[in-house]
Structure 1
Amino acid sequence: MPDVTRTSLVIATRDGEVRGHGRGDVVSWKGIPYAAPPVGPLRFRAPRPPEPWTGILDGASFGAMAPQGRDGPVPMDPSIPIDEDCLTLNVWAPTPDGVRRPVMVWLHGGAYVLGSSAQRIYNGRNLSHLGDVVVVTVNYRVGALGWLDLSSFGTDDDIFETNIGLRDQIFALTWVRENIDAFGGDSANVTVFGESSGGASVTTLMTSPAAKGLFHKAIAQSAPATSVYGPERARVAAERFLELVDLTPERAGELRTMPVQRLVDAAEKLVYEVPEKVPGTLGFAPVVDGDVVPRYPVAAFQKGFAHDVPLIIGSNHDEASVFRLMKSPLMPVTSDTVSTMFEAIAVDHPDLSPARIADILSAYPDLPKSAGALALSRDAGFRMPSLWIAEAHCRRAPTFVYRFDHATPVLRAARIGAGHATELPYVFGNFGTFDRDPTFWLGGRKAAQQVSRRIQRRWVAFAWHGVPAALDGSKHWAPYDERRRTLVIDGRDALVEDPDRELREIWGEKVLGFS
Structure 2
Amino acid sequence: MTAHVVGAESGVASRESAPVARTTAGAVRGFHDGSVNVWRSIPYAAEPSGPRRFARPEQPVPWGGERDCTEFGEIAPQTMGTMVPVDSGLRMGEDCLWVNVWAPGSPAVTEEPRPVMVWLHGGAYCLGTAAQGIYDGRKLVETGGVVVVGVNYRLGALGFLDLSALGPDFVPNLGLHDQIAALEWVRDNIAAFGGDPGNVTVFGESSGAGCVTSLLTAPASAGLFHRAIAQSPPATTVFGPERAAGVARRFLELIDLPLIRAQELLECPIERIVDAAGILLDEVPMQSPGRLAAAPVVDGDLLPTYPADRFQQGRSHRVPLMIGTNRDEASLFRLFRSPIMPVTPDAVNAMLNAVAADHPEMPPERIAEITSAYPDLSTTRGALAMSTDAAFRMPSHWVADAHSRHTRTWMYRFDQATPMLKAARVGAGHATELPYVFGNFGTLNHDPTFWLGGRKTAMEVSGRVMRRWLAFAEHGVPAALDGSKHWPPYREATRTTLLIDDTDRVVDDPDHNLYTAWGDQVVGFS
1:145 aligns with 2:132: no
Displaced runs of 4 or more, over 4 A? none
Give the match's secondary structure for 1:319: coil
Distance 1:305 1:183 in 2: 33
Map Cα deviations across residues 83-126 of structure 1 (whole Å, 9 max, x no partner): 11100100000023342000000000000001000000000000
Name the counterpart of 1:87: 97
Q: Which residue of 2 aligns with 1:121?
A: 134
Note if 1:247 corresponds to 2:257.
Answer: yes
Deviation digits for residues 450-496 of structure 1 (CA, Å, limit 9, x no counterpart)? 00000000000000000001121110110001221100000000011
Separation in 2, partners of 1:356, 1:23: 55
Superposed CA offset, 1:363-392 (max 9, x none): 201111110000000110000000000000
The aligned counterpart of 1:502 is: 513
Instruction: Report how far residue 7 of structure 1 moved.
Output: 5.3
Q: Counterpart amino acid of 2:523? A: L
Contact 2:82 2:336 in 1 (8 A): no
CA distance in 2, matches of 1:250, 1:467: 54
Q: Distance in 2 between matches of 1:238 and 1:331?
A: 21
For 2:272, the equivalent position in structure 1 comes to 262
Counterpart-to-counterpart distance in 1, 2:363 and 2:161: 32
Q: Does 1:33 align with 2:43?
A: yes
- The residue number in structure 1 matching 2:55 is 45
SS class of match (2:134): helix
Residue identity in the other structure for 1:302: Q
Structure-to-structure mapping, 1:156-167, within 5 angstroms: 159-167=169-177
Which stretch of structure 1 is more off in the superposition, 143-152 or 198-207? 143-152
Q: TM-score, normalised by structure 1?
A: 0.97
SS of corresponding position for 1:293: coil
Counterpart Cα distance in 1 of 2:33 and 2:297: 42
* Match runs of 1:409-424 below 5 Å: 409-424=419-434
C-alpha separation in 2, matches of 1:452 and 1:336: 37
Q: How does 1:228-377 map to 2 (within 5 A)?
A: 228-377=238-387
Give 1:72 deviation, angstroms.
4.0
Code of the aligned partner of 2:27: E
Residue 190 of structure 1, CA deviation: 0.1
Mapping for residues 179-198 of structure 1, pairs under 5 Å: 179-198=189-208
> Which amino acid is 2:476 matched to?
G
Distance 2:494 2:351 in 1: 32
1:260 counterpart letter in structure 2: I
Cα distance in 2, alignment partners of residues 509 and 497 from structure 1: 17
Q: Is the 8 A contact 1:381 1:514 kept in 2?
A: no
Unpaired runs of at least 5, structure 2: 1-15
- Between 49-58 and 90-99, the greater mean CA deviation after superposition: 90-99
Contact kept? 1:15, 1:51, Cα under 8 Å: yes
Partner of 2:118: 105
1:277 Cα offset (Å): 1.4
Give the corresponding residue for 1:3.
none
Q: Secondary structure at the match of 1:116?
A: coil
Match for residue 180 of structure 2 among 167, 170, 176 = 170
Select which of 176, 196, 202 maps to 2:212.
202
Q: For the structure 1 residues 7 and 433, does the alpha-carbon distance in structure 2 shift closer, same or farther, using more than 3 Å as the test?
A: farther
| Letter matched to residue 143 of structure 1 | G
Quick one: which of 467, 477, 480 aligns to 1:467? 477
Superposed CA deviations along residues 249-297 of structure 1, whole A, max 9, x for unmatched, are 2211000110001100111111111111111111100010010011111
**Root-mean-square deviation over aligned CA pairs:** 1.1
Q: Distance in 2 between matches of 1:451 and 1:181?
A: 32
Q: Is structure 2 residue 26 aligned with structure 1 residue 13?
A: no
| Alignment partners' CA distance in 2, 1:150 and 1:74 | 25
1:399 maps to a residue whose letter is T
Query: Could you tell me how far 1:212 is from its partner in structure 2?
Result: 0.4
Distance of 1:238 and 1:328 partners within structure 2? 23
